[in-house]
Structures are given as C-alpha cells and as structure tokens.
Amino acid sequence: MSSKAKNNILGVLVDGTDSFSARDMILQAGRERRPFSVSALAVHGVMTGVLDPEHLYRLNQLDLVVADGQPVRWALNLIHKAGLPERVYGPLLMHRIFAEAEKKGISVYFYGCTQEVLELMCAKIRNSFPQLQIAGARPSTFGRITPELADEIAAGIRQSGAHIVFAGLGCPRQEVWAYEFRNRINLPIVAVGAAFPITAGVLRQAPKWMQDRGLEWLFRLCTEPRRLWRRYLLLSPAYIILVVCQWLGMKFRFRGRPPQKEILHG
C-alpha cells in the first residue's frame, strides 16, 4: 500500500506523494492564496538536513517535501513501502503545474537565477504555454539580504497578483528561502532547483535512461566536475550507507534544532 504520509528518510520527513497529487495540492493552495511551502528534494538536499540540525528543522517545517531524486524514491519504497512509481522531478512538476494553471487562470511568479536565465525561461514558457499568466520574475541577489529588503521582495511578489511562486535558488538556499519567506509572502512557494536553467535551455538534462537508473548524478558530475565533485563523491556514498543502516533498523531523529536567526538569502 502506498504511504502518502510523511516518511522519515535519515531524519528528513519526505512525503510519499506523486507528481500529480503534488501538483493538485499546490494549485489548490494557489487558488486559495494561502502559504504552502514545497521542495523537490534529491540526495544532496537530504544530506544537508543530516549534516545540519537547523536545516533539518527547516526542511521538516515545509508543508510538502517530495522525492525529486531516484535514490530518495528508492529509499521511500525500500524502508517505508511507499510504492511510489516515479520520482517527482522538479522540472516536470513545474511544467505540469503550468499546464493546469494555464487552463484555470492561475498566475505564477519566478524568483531566482540571473536576469538572463529568467528572460530565456519566460520566453520558452510563453511559447509552450501561451495562455499562462506570468505575474513577474525577479533574479537572485546571490547573497545575504537585510530584513528590510526581504520585506520589500515579499511585498513586490504579493502585489504582483501571483497565485504561485517558484523558487530557483539551488539547494539548500531555496529551501531556506521557502522556509523564511513562507509567512512573508503567504502564497505557495515551490522550490524546484535546476528547473529554471533547464527550462531556459542553458543547463543540459541527463538522458532519460540515466535519469531512470539514478545516474543523473554521474551526468552532472561529468558536466560540472569542479563544482560538484564533493557533493557526488562524498555525500552520495554516505547517503547510501546511511539508508542501508536505516533499513537495518538504525533510528534517525527528525526534530532538528530551531534556527537561532534568519539567514535571508536573496
């Protein structure tokens, strides 16, 4: 039987939810214009929670955390018998939301990446979803920001008339942003990682056969070795070892530690 509830994967509470159910929950929150923080989490995202108790707390305060990475889906199915048939891939989830939002007059807002990437992405989206209402887009500042600027950004998003906000800041910055801006914006925030540059066409996707076999990490490591070698050659083996330990009965605490102060990435 599929478990839709939150499931403990190394202490991170991951929902056994497929992309269609996730899409519908996000759209419903958007229609109601209420806070609903979401992250599509891969191995790196899980391990950031394992290594940082404050970030573990943030992750476990999000409303919906879905299995973006195949190894996360496999762990759900192995340990919790979730029966999840496919991963909830961030770019695909985003596009499935677009398709329904276009039909229902639900508008979207994009926060993150560079101005160039946002312009390319929005042009591609308008071509594929011509009736989709894009309420606005704002690039990242790529650094820490003041509470005053955070409030200004949040006010601008609210005033845009958007129903749903997509955050493309990279892991773990986007999860921090979703946690810290949830009640500033009071709208659904969907952290979708590389979906922005992938949709813009500036970041190559792994071939589907590699994605299906959980080898996307190898493709990304080969394309960006200097930036990603620590993530994939150190964190990924650690993840596998810890998942096996949990499967064999090791317990992982999921409470974390409340952050002492805001980080406020911009």
Domain-embedded: residue 196: yes
Q: Are the C-beta atoms of residues 60 and 7 closer than 8 Å to each other?
A: no
Mean per-residue pLDDT of the chain: 92
Domain-embedded: residue 255: no
Domain-embedded: residue 257: no
Domain-embedded: residue 65: yes
Domain-embedded: residue 263: no
DSSP labels for 202-245?
SSPPPPHHHHHTT-HHHHHHHHSHHHHHHIIIIIHHHHHHHHHH
Identify the residue whose tokens are 């496999």. 74
Domain-embedded: residue 195: yes
At 109-128, the pLDDT tens digits run: 999 999 999 999 999 999 99
pLDDT value of position 236: 87
Q: How many domains does the chain have?
A: 1
pLDDT value of position 4: 67
pLDDT value of position 225: 75
At 150-168, the pLDDT tens digits run: 999 999 999 999 999 999 9
pLDDT value of position 228: 65
Domain-embedded: residue 13: yes
Domain-embedded: residue 30: yes
Q: Is 237 left (phi over 0), alpha (psi -120 to 50) or beta?
A: alpha
Does 131 score more than 60 pLDDT? yes
Domain span holding position 238: 6-247
